[in-house]
Amino acid sequence: MDQKKIGSFLKELRKDKGITQEQFAEKLGVSGRTISRWETGSNMPDLDILIQIADYYDVEIREILDGERKSEKMNKDLEETVLKVADYSNKEREIITKRMHILFLIGVICFIVYIALEALGMADSGFTEKIASFALGFSFGMLIVGVIYTSRYMVKIREFKMRMLKRG
């Protein structure tokens, strides 16, 4: 998959429609800068947006992914399968995002507990020291998880996990 070629094709399709990047961005609910990134090939649209783009320009998803027009029509079953995969992907992403929000909220609460115990001078002795240590550790752990989750390393971790599962 050649992102530069796809970007050029998306730009060609937009110009054929006679609209600006900003106008197209408004139709999709994204920023003009996002459209620019797609058209330069530095970024790719999500699958659900790719489907919207294909519908708007009246082209097949395969044509966009190939970066050129094709003469044959995409099989309807294949198109339905792609739509189902997009829906599944979005639902899976929503579930993971909800779980991460809950964990981050717990991390913030733990950090507030730690700050409160520290401010009251109760974080240095006894049982409250254990609570303060746990709260600080958990909140720091959630910070690390957040950095990993929002970075490109999450993809690498998932790929490593899949390789390990296939070996087992």
Tens digit of each residue's pLDDT (9 = 90 or more) over 114-159: 999 999 999 888 899 999 999 999 999 999 988 887 776 777 777 7
Q: Is the pTM of this model over 0.85?
A: no
**Contact present, 44 and 3 (Cβ < 8 Å):** yes
Question: What is the arithmetic mean of pLDDT over 50-62?
Answer: 87
- Interatomic CA distance for residues 91 and 103, integer angstroms: 19
**Contact present, 142 and 106 (Cβ < 8 Å):** yes
Label residue 42 by pLDDT band (50, 70, 90).
Answer: confident
